[in-house]
Every structure is written in C-alpha cells, then in structure tokens.
Structure 1
Amino acid sequence: LTKYIVLLCFTKFLKAVGLFESYDLLKAVHIVQFIFILKLGTAFFMVLFQKPFSSGKTITKHQ
C-alpha cells in the first residue's frame, strides 16, 4: 500500500512540474506550436512503448 502512495505523490509532483513548465513555455511559444509539440512528444513515447512496427506477422508480396 505504501508503494502506491509514494507513486501517487510522485505522479502528482510530476503533474505540478509539467503544469508549471507548460505555463512558462506558453509565454514564449504560440498555442498552436505548443499543442503540436505536445502531441508530437506523446506520439513519440507511445510508439516507443507499444512498438507497432515490430509486432505481428510481416506482410508478404502476395498480400
């Protein structure tokens, strides 16, 4: 149970840091560029975690 409480506190801390940093970044960058960078970063991490190019069977020439 203690492990989950520590993990919860750590994620809350990361969320607070992320909100603070995004507020500072929005002062310098336009909102459209910020959203594009945010979506690009999350897509990059999702590709790393899910590994869509290495799973499943390969497609042959006849398919």
Structure 2
Amino acid sequence: MADIVNLNRARKAKARAARVAQADANRIAHGRTRAEREAAAAEEARRSALLDGAKRSDD
C-alpha cells in the first residue's frame, strides 16, 4: 500500500529547501573578500581573453 503524503507539508518542505539553496548561493556570491572577488574577476577576464584570442574570424 502507498504511504499517505500530506501535501501541505510537502509544499512547505519544498519551499524551505528552495530558501536554503538560495541562501547557500548568496553566501557563495556575496560572502567573499575583496581580494577573492578581484582574483575571480581577473581569472574570468583572462579566460575570456584566451577564448576571444582563439576565435576564428568571420570573413
């Protein structure tokens, strides 16, 4: 026999899990020092320049 599921509790648990996931993402995005943010930006700029340098021209 199948288990009975309280839909209200399931809905609230799903919303709670989504809030926790969003909080984790915010901690990662905003919980860094200035040096870490600048290092990440420099790394992203280096990767972008490397990728742009490898592009073929559209002639």
Q: TM-score normalized by structure 2? A: 0.41
Higher relative contact order (CA 8 A, sep 6+): 1
